[in-house]
Amino acid sequence: MTLRSLFVTGCIAALFALGACKKSSTHDVSADFEAALAAAEASKGSGDPALWKLSDEDTDIYIFGTVHLLPTELQWETSAISTAFKEANKFYMEADINSPEAAQSMMALISELGTLPEGKSLYDMMGKEDSRTLKAALEKIDLNPDMIKTFQPWYAGLTVQQFVMLKAGYNPLSGVEMVLIKRAEDQGKEFGYFETLEDQMRILAAGDAQEQLEGLVFTAETIDLGTKYLDILVDEWSDGDVTGLSAIISAPEMFGSEEAYDRFLTQRNRDWIPQIEAILDEPGQIFIAVGAAHLAGPDSVILMLENEGYTVTRVQ
């Protein structure tokens, strides 16, 4: 397991709200999910992941929604995606997760934000019942409880989710970003980013200790639901069913609270709009790849651009 793979899993965790939920019961979230799933199943996509295009007189921007971890065997790339990426002279992502500088920054941020003060233990912060619940969940995924005992609750939750997904056959190296990063490097493309690693890590680490602990315990209580969320999300994404994706991942109740929804999605999307507008001043072809949740639902980047008067055309 690498710091990079743990980070991209954190982005997935944000979509599930398994770590963000803090006051909803397991029953409540299960009911919300089943309702969202029914809505998703009522709609159908094009059969391929969605791809959009935004243009002016001298710039073409392709916008692609991604999933950060995927089964190794899943074939998601189409000729439209491949051609748009190959012809782009610059590749934009949410943040730099691949360079040596990013790895160094991530290590420092994890030390600052993800670990407890020396001598403190995660299990000492929890009641006996919650501690037993967490350790029972760790046993299910063959994770030694000592591995996370010095972690802050939010970081412990991400680690648990990482193991759940890896155990289910999901691979961060098969995720869209990692595939496209390697190809961009091979093709000598210039990279651009909307956020810094620190921005993203502080979003993931937000919330006081009690909120984080509640999220961690909720993750443990719902550990058997984790891969179900991801399986459905990947099915909807690979089918290009943006309506289905919207039902699953873009509702505030799926994030545990309106505040968490705003923090993980709405505010970040707003912050990206002026940056995308500025990209239109760069002549040539640009390829943007960001998490699929940012391109679905009533607060999506796509709708925000359209509300600013831009024409965004779905080309796949």
Determine the pLDDT at residue 27. 52
Which residue in the block uniquely carries the two structure tokens 């967490």? 134
pLDDT band at residue 14, thresholds of 50, 70 and 90? very low
pTM confidence score = 0.88
Helix 153-167 vs helix 226-238: angle between axes, to the nearest 10 degrees? 70
Cα of 176 vs its chain's centroid, Å? 11
What is the number of helices (H) and of strands (E) in the chain?
A: 14, 8
pLDDT mean over 256-279 = 90
156 Cβ contact partners less than 8 Å away, ≥ 6 residues apart: 122, 148, 216
Using one digit for the tens of pLDDT, what is the confidence trace for 216-226? 998 898 888 77
**pLDDT(23) > 50:** no
Domain spans, the chain: 3-314
pLDDT mean over 27-51 = 78
Determine the pLDDT at residue 22. 45
State the DSSP H helix or E strand holding residue 315, giving kind and residue range, or none if neither: none
**pLDDT(2) > 90:** no
129 Cβ contact partners less than 8 Å away, ≥ 6 residues apart: none
Q: Mean pLDDT score of the chain, rounded to an integer?
A: 86
pLDDT mean over 128-153 = 95
pLDDT band at residue 273, thresholds of 50, 70 and 90? very high
